[in-house]
Structure 1
Amino acid sequence: MTIDHVNLGRLDLNLLIAFDALAIEGSVTRAARRVGIGQSAMSHALSRLRVLMEDELFTRMPEGMLPTPRAKALIGPVRNALAAAQQILLKHQPFDPISASRTFFIGMPDSIELVLLPKLLAVAQKIAPGIILRARRTDRFQALDQIDGDELHLAVGEFNQGGMHHKRRGLFKANYLCLFDGTQVPIAGDFTLEDYLAYPHVLLGSITTKPHGVVDDALAAIGRSRKVGVTTEHFISVPYLLKSGPMISTCVQPAAGIFATEFGLNAKSPPLQLPNIEVSMLWHASYDTDPAHQWLRGLIVDILS
């Protein structure tokens, strides 16, 4: 690629830094605070960016400064360029876990958090006491926007979408277990489909939509249906609900196994074919060569793979 030195010379690297901060914060005041400059300086940088890019870039709305289509298209490339400049010019020091001080925001559904976070925290406290972990609940619908907005440094879960600026690594394939309280659901011997459909079910999902999940799709394929007795958005509520009455819940592994052990629940393989879930890590390409980020990803691979 030939470098257009004349026109590129008009560009101040600080303007790209200001653009990235505005894209993350959606506020001139917060972006200025993030960069460490005054609000007037950030406003001036935005004005210069608008002239340079020949676009409004960010429009003031009640919910904050929203990026225009042109700005949205620039967010990924600008962040990648800044990351590359940081790698080349600042020369990352080798990452030393024992002396490092860093905060990581990690997004995951609570079924993954239950399995990963206690183990990750236990290891980090021993070998990297200065590392702070901030867990945030997310899912495959929210994670991409949160990663692009730098609200998350890393997400762990089921992801089947992503752009060129997203990196992904598979961790494991998860299946399901059916859980119930054997004192209230007296099923002896084989666990049949008729047993499965004889009791109301606890469904993990949004309470704002029609109760429906992967189990309902599988049942519909064979002309059957189930009764959903209760829906909850909180995975940790499931074992308590199962203890409250004669109900069944179909939960993803390995969290289901933890519930069975900790709460004395019966666990059976589902009496119908359900698709496996592929659990992956997802992160922004700008963090791909960051030594601290690489260390964190390696730690998660060791724990979950």
Structure 2
Amino acid sequence: MAIDHVDLARLDLNLLVALDALLEERSVTRAAARVGVGQPAMSASLARLRRLFDDELLTRAPDGMRPTPRALALAEPLRGALRQVQALVHREERFDPATVARTFTVSLPDSVEVLLGPRLIAYLRAHAPGVRLLLRSVDAARILEELDADRVDLALGFFTEGQAHHKRRLLYRDSYVVLFNAGLVGLDAPIGLDDYLRFPHVLTSLRETAHGVVDDALARLGRTRTLAVTTPRFLVVPFLVRAAPVIATMHARLATAFASALGLSVSPVPVDLDPVAVTMLWHASYDRDPAHRWLRDLLVRLAGEAPDFGVL
């Protein structure tokens, strides 16, 4: 569609900035503070926006201000347009990691955090001391919504879903191994299938389900396993394995690091499991953001430099 410059020139683009703040804060007072104007000025902007879109946009509710359906439909394309304008304006600015001051909110599982976190923070303190990280547990069911709402800058983990504006990049691939306490289970590597099924298992599941890829592989063989415990936290697994006659099937990089640190053993898995892909996920509006692109490139480099990560 051709741009109608005359029509567009009549629009105060600052109104779109105000609308974005209002939709994010759902409060005239907080939106005014976010933009850096007084409350009367923000109230006036809301009145103009209502005339412009011929819609109330935000209505009063017991818990604050509630966006109308029209406002909810505007929120994502508006945020994307403002990001593109910001990137256009700042694209030519020189980016220097040593002087940049920025906080990144990153969602990730604890398994990826323990592998990448130490190397990442060491690099940032040495080369980009103004970069701060706000790390959060990843919620696979809500991560796309959080990226769209700009509550998360970058997500790391095991993602298979997304829309056209959700960009994905491979961090690394990993295989699986069996983690066990040889002294408690009386086994040595490699473990056979019968021994593998003789002991109860520890399952890590981020989706709160007592079923994993191992169960699918066993079902194809007509076999099943017994679960002792299911947990959403990868980092507790080796301590459970060290304390009880149970075994766990874990990503090889993490399991090998824990085995070395805690005196545990690893073995190949006696069933066929596909490698797992650990990826990065972000909103397409940050594709050309220099600092965001720098962080993504850095993570890929750190993920590939040392397969065992040497973290424990």
TM-score (normalizing by structure 2): 0.87
Q: 1:4 to 1:159 in 2, by over 3 A?
A: same
1:180-230 Cα distance to aligned partner (Å, 9 max, x none): 1111111125311111111111111269x5522222222222222111111
- Match for residue 94 of structure 1? 94
Contact 2:189 2:267 in 1 (8 A): no
Contact 2:190 2:268 in 1 (8 A): no
- Match for residue 13 of structure 2? 13
The alignment partner of 2:169 has SS state of strand
1:241 aligned onto 2:243: no
Q: Give, in whole Å, the separation in 2 of the partners of 1:64 and 1:235.
A: 39
Contact 1:139 1:157 in 2 (8 A): no
Contact 2:22 2:28 in 1 (8 A): yes
Report how many aligned residue pairs link the two structures. Answer: 304
- Match for residue 173 of structure 1? 173
Q: 1:63 to 1:172 in 2, by over 3 A?
A: farther
Q: 1:289 to 1:192 in 2, by over 3 A?
A: same
- Match for residue 201 of structure 2? 201
Contact 2:171 2:279 in 1 (8 A): yes
- Match for residue 154 of structure 2? 154
Question: How large is the RMSD of aligned CA atoms in angstroms?
Answer: 2.4
The alignment partner of 1:33 has SS state of helix
Q: Give, in whole Å, the separation in 2 of the partners of 1:263 and 1:66.
A: 52
User: Which stretch of the first structure deviates more once superposed, 146-155 or 39-48?
Assistant: 39-48
1:114-149 Cα distance to aligned partner (Å, 9 max, x none): 111111101111011111111111043222111111
The alignment partner of 1:107 has SS state of strand
Instruction: Give 1:51-90 correspondences, 5 Å limit.
Output: 51-58=51-58, 67-90=67-90
Q: Give, in whole Å, the separation in 2 of the partners of 1:84 and 1:149.
A: 15
- Match for residue 118 of structure 1? 118
1:69-99 Cα distance to aligned partner (Å, 9 max, x none): 5444433322232122223334552111111
Contact 2:91 2:290 in 1 (8 A): no
Q: 1:106 to 1:189 in 2, by over 3 A?
A: closer
Please state how far the C-alpha of 1:264 moved relative to its aligned partner. 1.6
- Match for residue 265 of structure 1? 264
The alignment partner of 2:86 has SS state of helix
- Match for residue 37 of structure 2? 37
Aligned-partner residue type, residue 156 of structure 2: V
Contact 2:32 2:38 in 1 (8 A): yes
Give the unaligned 5+ runs of structure 1: none
1:221-272 Cα distance to aligned partner (Å, 9 max, x none): 2222111111222221111111121001111232222222221211112111
- Match for residue 275 of structure 1? 274
The alignment partner of 1:168 has SS state of strand
- Match for residue 285 of structure 1? 284
The alignment partner of 2:155 has SS state of strand
Contact 2:91 2:289 in 1 (8 A): no
Q: 1:157 to 1:29 in 2, by over 3 A?
A: farther
Please state how far the C-alpha of 1:275 moved relative to its aligned partner. 2.5
Aligned-partner residue type, residue 233 of structure 1: P
- Match for residue 216 of structure 2? 217
Q: Give, in whole Å, the separation in 1 of the partners of 2:277 and 2:63.
A: 35
Q: 1:98 to 1:42 in 2, by over 3 A?
A: same
Q: What percentage of residue pairs aligned between the two structures are identical?
A: 49
Q: 1:268 to 1:26 in 2, by over 3 A?
A: farther
Aligned-partner residue type, residue 294 of structure 2: W
Q: Give, in whole Å, the separation in 2 of the partners of 1:264 and 1:255.
A: 14
Q: Give, in whole Å, the separation in 1 of the partners of 2:272 and 2:168.
A: 27
Q: Give, in whole Å, the separation in 2 of the partners of 1:22 and 1:253.
A: 47
Q: 1:127 to 1:210 in 2, by over 3 A?
A: closer
User: Which stretch of the first structure deviates more once superposed, 80-89 or 104-113?
Assistant: 80-89
Q: Give, in whole Å, the separation in 2 of the partners of 1:219 and 1:60.
A: 55
The alignment partner of 2:184 has SS state of coil
TM-score (normalizing by structure 1): 0.89
Contact 1:191 1:271 in 2 (8 A): yes
Aligned-partner residue type, residue 148 of structure 1: D
Give the unaligned 5+ runs of structure 2: 305-312
- Match for residue 309 of structure 2? none
1:150-190 Cα distance to aligned partner (Å, 9 max, x none): 11111111111222222221222222121111111111253
Contact 1:23 1:149 in 2 (8 A): no
